[in-house]
Amino acid sequence: MRFLTAGESHGPELTAIIEGLPAGMPLDVEMINKDLKRRQVGYGRGGRMKIEQDQVRITSGLRHGKTLGSPLTLVIENKDWKNWQSVMGIDPVTEKEKVKRQVTRPRPGHADLVGGIKYNHRDLRNVLERSSARETAVRVAIGAVSKAILSASGCEVMAHVIEIGGVEASISEGMSLADLKIKSESSDVRCSDENAAGLMREAIDRAKKEGNTLGGIVEVIVTGLPIGLGSYTQWDQKLDGKLAQAMLSINAFKGVEFGVGFEAARLPGSDVMDEIIWDQAQGYTRKTNRLGGFEGGMTNGMPVIVRGVMKPIPTLYKPLESVDITTKEVYTASVERSDSCAVPAASVIAEAVIATELAKALLDKFDGDSFVKLTENIKEYKNYTTEY
């Protein structure tokens, strides 16, 4: 399976084409829309989300609720486009028109300046329109399709927020995945710890008042994967490496860890490895899951636990110093509209990109021409791994 996305933030629409999907896979458009909605809500989102009401339109690859095995095209309309038709139009315009929303002042922390230098754009809007996190809307739609693929292995995928602006959630060890999901899903900061959620909201309010923005940490958990997705035999086949790349492909993400992650640097080996056990019902499992479901770059059958850190959104109301690329004058950036915190939304995006990479790995390992056959093959393989 592979995919490409296209579309500018204030262009007419976002598009994705996914190729290599199994045929005969049930796909519910409303299920995709539900995920799109999850990405749009959340404490700390700005004015743009009042304009957009993301809905997917499928224009190929689906018939009577099931995939055809042909390329699936997903389209999400940008409602804001109607306000940008001439600025973002495809036809040549007059010089007067050209400078209307021209950007010559790069915002620190954004792709603006480096993208402008690299592609030799004098209007930095040519950079920011594509580097915008708006693109993640269509990746969430791809993630929803990917979760349908993962259902062939009985996978559950969830994501939640574990830290915003230095406020850490405390997650009780005994909390079931189902509980964690219900609690974080009903929280507007997508955090299961109500006390921490309150403090996170206060921190976001404070940052907003000060013209500032906040980052945080999100965690994705996936259960039900078969043993042995990915491979140790070649560097670029290691699946944890691919998941790390996917996580860092989300706008503003700066770091990734699995299981105990960076904490492993401070612990002795005996507190990091997971002891192996076997029983007839579950086959080979581990007493603990400190390694986050990966050994040797392969899934080991334990839940995949992967976290990503998001920096604060670089568009600040609080002015930061930069240089105008036309006049070379120093200026302090002014902002029309921004989110103050997008960490809750980013957790939904993280869930989507991780699901997508895992679905690709599943289709790499098992014959994925037919969804029914895929499901059967995985079941048979799981029997083998239990008995091994």
What region does 84 belong to: left with phi over 0, alpha with psi -120 to 50, or beta?
A: alpha
Least separation, in Å, of the C-beta of 108 and ligand EPS?
A: 13
- Of 52, 123, 205, 376, the residue at the interface with ligand EPS (CB under 6 A) is 52
One-character DSSP codes across 173-188? TT--HHHHHHHHHTST
Question: Looking at beta carbons only, is 11 or 230 nearer to ligand EPS?
Answer: 11
Residue 48 touching ligand EPS (CB under 6 A): yes
Query: Which residues inside 276-335 make contact with ligand EPS, applying CB under 6 A?
Result: 315
DSSP E strand stretches across the chain: 2-6, 13-19, 56-60, 62-63, 66-67, 72-77, 156-164, 167-168, 216-223, 253-258, 276-279, 283-286, 294-295, 298-299, 304-310, 321-323, 330-332
- Of 5, 67, 126, 132, the residue at the interface with ligand EPS (CB under 6 A) is 132
- Of 7, 46, 216, 368, the residue at the interface with ligand EPS (CB under 6 A) is 46
Residue 337 touching ligand EPS (CB under 6 A): yes
Cα separation, 121 vs 65, in Å, equals: 44
Q: Of 127-135, 139-147, 224-232, 301-309, which part binds ligand EPS (CB under 6 A)?
A: 127-135
Cα separation, 205 vs 199, in Å, equals: 10
Q: Considering only CA atoms, which of 93, 81, 190, 171 is closest in space to residue 129?
A: 81
Question: Looking at beta carbons only, is 132 or 213 nearer to ligand EPS?
Answer: 132
Query: Which residues inside 206-265 make contact with ligand EPS, applying CB under 6 A?
Result: 251
Torsion angle of the four alpha carbons 107, 83, 98, 319, in this order, in degrees rounded to the nearest 10: -20
Question: Looking at beta carbons only, is 51 or 276 nearer to ligand EPS?
Answer: 51
Closest residue to ligand EPS using C-beta atoms: 48
Check the annotation: does 94 bind a ligand: no
Cα separation, 353 vs 355, in Å, equals: 5
CB count, 10 Å around CB of 156?
15
Q: Of 97-105, 126-134, 191-199, 230-238, which part binds ligand EPS (CB under 6 A)?
A: 126-134
Residue 133 touching ligand EPS (CB under 6 A): yes
Check the annotation: does 337 bind a ligand: yes
Residues in the annotated binding site: 39, 45, 130-132, 251-252, 296, 311-315, 337
Point out which residues bind ligand EPS (CB under 6 A): 9, 46, 48, 52, 80, 132-134, 137, 251, 315, 337, 339
